[in-house]
């Protein structure tokens, strides 16, 4: 059972945004400090990637582990809510399926895609190395 009233739940969910999450801001800051320049949320590309490197034809998505169903079994952030599973399971599964379709669509257009997971940001050096390898290859 939900511990919040419908009004309280609505208020809380209204604060969830699709752009400018804390994880995305951390990645943007890191990539900028690394010296790369990018565009945000490429509206003309499938899925509107978070960071777009048009001259390199590369895109980075920053995924929240909960919302995008991080498949890593060790990720504690990707847990399912205990309440309203009849709502959450199809919702979150649909998000994951949409992400796969989006990546395939970008790849079919000749773009390379990197997904950075929220839980991976704990090790910034590793993320920096992953981004550098992706962008310089």
Backbone phi, then psi, for 57, in 5-degree steps? Answer: 55, 50
Alpha-carbon gap, residue 93 to 60, rounded angstroms: 21
Alpha-carbon gap, residue 72 to 89, rounded angstroms: 17
- Residue 16: what pLDDT? 66
Cβ contacts of 56 within 8 Å, gap of 6 or more: 112, 135
Closest by Cα among 5, 95, 114, 97 to 52: 114
Tens-place pLDDT, residues 78-133:
888 888 888 889 999 999 999 999 999 999 999 999 999 999 999 999 999 999 99
Q: What is the pTM for the complete model shown?
A: 0.85
Backbone phi, then psi, for 103, in 5-degree steps? Answer: -65, -40
Closest by Cα among 83, 73, 78, 112 to 95: 78
Q: Are the C-beta atoms of 107 and 46 separated by less than 8 Å? A: no
Query: What percent of the chain clears pLDDT 90, i.e. is strictly above it?
Result: 66
Q: Which domains does the chain have, with CATH numbers?
A: 19-136 (3.40.960.10)
């Amino acid at each position: 059972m939900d511990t919040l009233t419908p009004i309280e739940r609505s208020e809380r969910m209204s604060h969830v945004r699709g752009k400018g999450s804390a994880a995305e801001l951390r990645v943007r800051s890191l990539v900028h400090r690394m010296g790369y320049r990018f565009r945000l949320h490429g509206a003309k590309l499938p899925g509107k990637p978070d960071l777009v490197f048009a001259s390199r034809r590369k895109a980075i998505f920053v995924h929240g582990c909960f919302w995008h169903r991080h498949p890593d079994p060790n990720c504690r952030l990707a847990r399912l809510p205990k309440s309203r599973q009849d709502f959450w399971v199809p919702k979150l599964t649909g998000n994951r399926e949409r992400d796969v379709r989006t990546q395939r669509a970008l790849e079919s257009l000749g773009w390379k895609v990197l997904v950075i997971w929220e839980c991976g940001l704990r090790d910034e050096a590793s993320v920096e190395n992953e981004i550098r390898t992706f962008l310089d290859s």
